[in-house]
Chain A
Amino acid sequence: MSAATLHSLGPMLAAFLASLVEFVEALTVVLAVGAARGWRDALAGSAAALLLLLLLILALGPALSHIPLRAVQRVVGTLLLLFGLRWLRKAMLRSAGVLALHDENAAYAAQLQSWGQAQPAPGRHDTLALLASFKITLLEGLEVVFIVVAVAAGGPHLWIPASLGALAALLLVAALGVLLHRPLAHVPENTLKFGVGVLLTSFGSFWVGEGIGVHWPGDDWSLLGLVAGYLLVALLGVGLCRRAHASRAALPAR
């Protein structure tokens, strides 16, 4: 594998996996809204949000290319690092049993119950359903846009692989949603978040490092070293957190 392939495949994989997690979360809510209040408005809300996100990407791409690369890497790299560390820390705490695992089935049941209580008048547009789908798709989609922008911070040539990764995730989740008509509860969400957290933290470290003048030994290849390093630290951290949590829980309450 050449450094150029690594340079394109890395952002594509990171964008695909991170977007997969976000779209699975959005799908749970859109499915609940659609099942409880009708599909027309639920799908229209999501479609409007996707259109808005597409316009945002088209506006952001050319605008970013006018800013010096080092400055983009410093700002976007820092944000990506904070974003990745937030995901990785949460995934570590969930793996260690400190935080509860996210359950898509439970989330779907709760959404379905809350949306099923007040039915709209038949034949009319259901503004609430439309807004709910719009909001969740926009919120999760904004995170996807940020991820695409951030993992492509190495240069304009990374926009296409990163966008393709996110688009593939969207198509996969949409296809599975249409086929299954229920939340994707079997997706190992925390494992995905763990892996994505490691990838985003590695990319964030790499970009911000380039931005502040760090010399990476082996250039792009050091990304693999960062991934291995953060993975090792996170796995060791899970063991330590589990032990710390167990000994804290064993202490009598004051």
Chain B
Amino acid sequence: MQALRRALRSLLAFFIDDGSLAGLVLGWLALLWIGIAQLELSRRWSALLLFLGLAAILGASALRRSRAR
């Protein structure tokens, strides 16, 4: 059980080292997916929105880490 937990933690660490960055990315993707599928958000604008959102999340995450002691 312990070994399985350790393996899962290592697997998770492949993708996530900052939980808030990962959470925001997943949230943004989910919002866009819902927007496109349910609210008929313009598919052309959705490409720009996807990039701008992800770029802003990346910049904010790096900046927040730089301000931390």
Binding site for B on A (CB under 8 A): 78-79, 81-83, 85-86, 88-90, 92-93, 96, 98, 139, 142-143, 146, 201, 205, 208-209, 212-217, 222, 226, 229-230, 233-234, 236-237, 240-242, 244-245, 248
State in angstroms the CA–CA spacing of A212 and B18 once bound together. Answer: 24
Q: A214-B43, A222-B47 are in contact. List 20 more A-B contacts (CB 8 A).
A: A78-B29, A82-B25, A85-B21, A85-B58, A86-B15, A89-B61, A89-B65, A92-B62, A96-B66, A142-B14, A201-B54, A208-B29, A208-B50, A213-B37, A214-B46, A214-B47, A216-B47, A240-B62, A241-B65, A244-B66
For residue A82, which residues in chain B have a CB less than 8 angstroms away from its CB? 15-16, 22, 25
CB of A89 within 8 A of CB of B58, answer yes
Whose C-beta in chain A lies nearest to the C-beta of B60?
A: A237
Q: Pick the residue among B15, B26, B50, B58 that contacts A214 (CB under 8 A).
A: B50
- In this assembly, does B5 line the interface, its C-beta being within 8 Å of a C-beta of chain A? no
State in angstroms the CA–CA spacing of A101 and B3 once bound together. Answer: 31
CB of B22 within 8 A of CB of A241, answer no
State in angstroms the CA–CA spacing of A217 and B14 once bound together. Answer: 31
Binding site for A on B (CB under 8 A): 10, 14-18, 21-22, 25-26, 29, 32-33, 36-37, 43-44, 46-47, 50-51, 54-55, 57-59, 61-63, 65-69
Which 6 residue pairs spanning A and B have beta carbons closest together? A215-B43, A241-B66, A82-B15, A212-B33, A244-B66, A233-B55
Q: Which of B17, B25, B26, B54 has the most A CB atoms < 10 Å from its CB?
A: B54
Q: Pick the residue among A88, A208, A245 that contacts B58 (CB under 8 A).
A: A88
CB of B54 within 8 A of CB of A81, answer yes
What's the nearest-Cβ distance from chain B to residue A122, in Å?
33
What number of A-B contacts does a CB cutoff of 8 Å give? Answer: 108
CB of B66 within 8 A of CB of A85, answer no
Q: Which of A83, A86, A242 has the most B CB atoms < 10 Å from its CB?
A: A86
For residue A212, which residues in chain B have a CB less than 8 angstroms away from its CB? 29, 32-33, 36-37
CB of B63 within 8 A of CB of A240, answer yes
For residue A92, which residues in chain B have a CB less than 8 angstroms away from its CB? 62
For residue B66, which residues in chain A have a CB less than 8 angstroms away from its CB? 93, 96, 98, 240-242, 244-245, 248
Q: Pick the residue among B14, B32, B55 that contacts A230 (CB under 8 A).
A: B55
State in angstroms the CA–CA spacing of A92 and B56 once bound together. Answer: 14
State in angstroms the CA–CA spacing of A216 and B62 once bound together. Answer: 27
Q: A98-B65, A209-B47, A237-B63 are in contact. Are A86 and B55 (CB under 8 A)?
A: no
For residue B67, which residues in chain A have a CB less than 8 angstroms away from its CB? 244-245, 248
